[in-house]
Amino acid sequence: MRVTNTSIYRNFTFTANDLHSKLIKSFSKIGGNSKKYESAAENPLAYYEGLNMDTHFQDLESKVSLIKDVKHRMYQQELGARAIQSALTGDNGSKFQIEKALNATSDHTSTLSAVRDELTQSQHEIVNALNVQYQNIYVFGGNDSSQAPFYLSEDGKTLTYRHLFPGDKTTTDITMTLTKQTDGSYEYVIDDIDSVVKAMTEQGVMDLGYGYIGDRDSLIDTYTGGLNVLTGITSKTARDMISLGKTDDLKALIQERMNGSAIALTGQAAFAVQDYIDNPTQDGLNTMNKVLGDTLSEIDASSIRLGTIYEELGIKYSRLDDTHTRLLSVQDSLTEAYADKLGADPYEAIMEMVSNQYSYNAALQVGSKLMETSLFDFMR
């Protein structure tokens, strides 16, 4: 039977390309990052078991990434709560400034002016802590993490909470204004207490395997709104009071806690000092001392509430960290199992590479002979 030159060359080209492909694959296996089987046909059972492992690994990877982000967000929340506490009771905080003002006399107007400025500055530091960000997310924004939740007027009198509630198209602004009372003290007048209640009940629960997904109370709440931090009232407490029909009691508690919050106490002290500067009489001095003394007595309780907040955040962070560690351990085990099942054995890979290299070199030698005229003449 007569064999044509074209047929011979076509068969040779196919064989040479196939050997070259096998050689390249065997080279890649030596690196230790290649799969043992390139297709299901080579070993269907092992191949599809590997696909299941791969799917499981990708799922684990997404969860690890999510928990890592939530961990960092909660860590920033903890730092924010600590920063507020520091502004209130730190070395140069509100408590120190109030004590400084109480030790001043009517002849120390310059000292009182400096105290007032420091107290106003502390108010702004508290707001900055409430507007802390992690990767462009405002961590104290609750369900609305895209915009700064708190704004404070330059004089520290008006605090605005800005929030976009789920389902709403426009942002809700809640203003709280420090208003002077008949006894010389200051309290917040809240223009929309219902929206405050709504904001303080927001949650972002997350199942970490510790609770029952059908019971929200058993799941970890990863959201801590700024209003919850200021008042020390958790979303769970607010929800429980509402479910018990105690909404009015909740509103009263919020009003009381806002007046006893770090920013309100600091602002009250600043305005009490300013009132005396504006009216430096004995009555004015007595009123200032009374307001500052009452404020000082409330500061410790406010600081304790802040401490409770960041302790709870620390506990949540610990649970997240524990889950993160367990997931990483499962990832490592899965990676090892995947390598055992589908990873190329280094010794086998080297032997396969040597064999393929020998076959490919032999094919190249045959190819060089095919191009010689005498061989073509012989085949004719």
125 shares a domain with 215: yes
Q: What's the pLDDT at 320?
A: 82
110 shares a domain with 71: yes
Question: What is the secondary structure of 175-221 as a DSSP string?
Answer: EEEEEE-TTS-EEEEES-HHHHHHHHT---EE--SSS-TT-GGGSEE
203 shares a domain with 177: yes
Cα 158 to Cα 143, 153, 191: the distances in Å are 23, 5, 11
Q: What's the pLDDT at 347?
A: 43
Instruction: Provide the 8-state DSSP code for 133.
Output: E
> What CATH number does the domain containing 111 carry?
1.20.1330.10
Q: What's the pLDDT at 154?
A: 95
φ, ψ at 188 (rounded to 5°):
-80, 135
In order along its 380 residues, the chain shows pLDDT tens digits of 444 466 666 666 767 676 666 656 655 555 555 555 555 445 555 556 666 767 776 777 777 777 888 888 888 999 999 999 999 999 899 999 999 999 876 557 788 999 999 999 999 999 999 999 988 889 998 888 889 999 999 999 999 999 999 889 999 999 999 999 999 999 999 999 999 999 999 988 776 665 555 556 667 788 889 999 999 999 999 999 999 999 999 999 999 999 999 999 999 999 999 999 998 899 999 999 999 999 999 999 999 999 999 888 888 888 888 887 887 777 777 666 666 655 544 545 555 555 656 565 666 666 666 665 444 454 55
Cα 18 to Cα 42, 168, 263, 355, 358: the distances in Å are 16, 62, 75, 14, 14
Question: 240, 159 in Cβ contact below 8 A?
Answer: no
Question: 142, 131 in Cβ contact below 8 A?
Answer: no
Rounded to the nearest 10 degrees, the angle between the axes of helix 44-89 and helix 109-130 is 170
175 shares a domain with 114: yes
Q: What's the pLDDT at 212?
A: 52
Q: What's the pLDDT at 341?
A: 59
196 shares a domain with 160: yes
Close Cβ partners of 107 (under 8 Å, ≥ 6 residues apart)? none
27 shares a domain with 135: no
106 shares a domain with 212: yes
Question: Residue 371: CA atoms inside 13 Å, Cβ hemisphere, count?
Answer: 6
CB atoms within 10 A of CB 101: 26
Q: Which domain holds residue 36?
A: 5-58+332-379
Q: What's the pLDDT at 64?
A: 77
Query: Could you tell me the pTM of the whole model?
Result: 0.74
Q: What's the pLDDT at 19?
A: 62
**Structural domain count of the chain:** 2
Q: What's the pLDDT at 376?
A: 47
Q: What's the pLDDT at 10?
A: 65
362 shares a domain with 296: no
354 shares a domain with 327: no
